[in-house]
Amino acid sequence: MPKKPKVAIVMGSDSDFPVVEGCLNILREFDVETSVAICSAHRTPDRAAELARNAESEGCDLIIGAAGKAAHLPGVLAAYTVLPVIGIPIKSSTLDGLDSLLSIVQMPQGVPVATVAINGSGNAALLAIQILGGTYPELREKMREYKKKMAEAVEVKNQQLQARLRGAEQ
């Protein structure tokens, strides 16, 4: 049986889960296996290092790290693995997530972290699927179908708008 794609999702706090849940749902929709954990870069740094070091041997192809405020978790995970890491900056109460975004996107040379928009967990999942599509052709096909459905939905909305506008003219 061929290996199924797998993504590790690590969040800095349980309060991040409402944002991360969108990512998890999309990965499940694409039939990507997931492991999910809470781990703090600052309060449990040894655990973060362990998760990142073991991800590959546990069958993970990619790691998604979600964190708010100082948001060092994705960078710490990236420091301990050669797997691709995608960071999700979580909106915080003080700086609306700008602090999180800057903490994740400004990684030093040699420790890359792909970064999506603040609270952009859906795009983190879709980016993961596109990256994994290089290894798993079935994900490329599912992504093509996903994008086709998005385009069809936009066209339906446009047709509805045009019909409403025509009705308003009469």
Domain holding 107: CATH number?
3.40.50.1970
Identify the CA nearest to 71 among candidates 49, 95, 103, 47: 103
Confidence (pLDDT) at 39:
96
Q: Is residue 153 part of a domain?
A: no
How far is CA 78 from its chain centroid? Answer: 14
Long-range contacts of 23-26 (CB under 8 A, 24+ apart): 23/64, 23/66, 23/88, 23/121, 23/122, 23/124, 23/125, 24/125, 25/125, 26/122, 26/125, 26/126, 26/129
Asked if 62 contacts 84 with a C-beta cutoff of 8 angstroms, the reply is yes
Long-range contacts of 54-57 (CB under 8 A, 24+ apart): 55/8, 55/81, 55/83, 56/81, 56/82, 56/83
CA distance 81 to 56: 8
Confidence (pLDDT) at 119:
98
Asked if 37 contacts 92 with a C-beta cutoff of 8 angstroms, the reply is no
* Domain boundaries, position 33: 6-141
Asked if 80 contacts 57 with a C-beta cutoff of 8 angstroms, the reply is no
Confidence (pLDDT) at 93:
80
Confidence (pLDDT) at 125:
98
Q: Is residue 155 part of a domain?
A: no
Average pLDDT of adjacent 10-residue blocks, the chain of 170 residues: 92 96 98 98 97 98 96 97 98 90 96 98 98 97 97 97 88
Q: Is residue 82 part of a domain?
A: yes
Q: Is residue 162 part of a domain?
A: no
* Model pTM above 0.85: yes
Confidence (pLDDT) at 71:
94
> Quick check: helix, strand or coil at residue 125?
helix
Asked if 85 contacts 62 with a C-beta cutoff of 8 angstroms, the reply is yes
CA distance 134 to 3: 14
For residues 140, 142, 146, 148, the Cα torsion angle rounded to the nearest 10 degrees is 80
Q: Is residue 168 part of a domain?
A: no
Confidence (pLDDT) at 169:
77
Domain count of the fold of the chain: 1
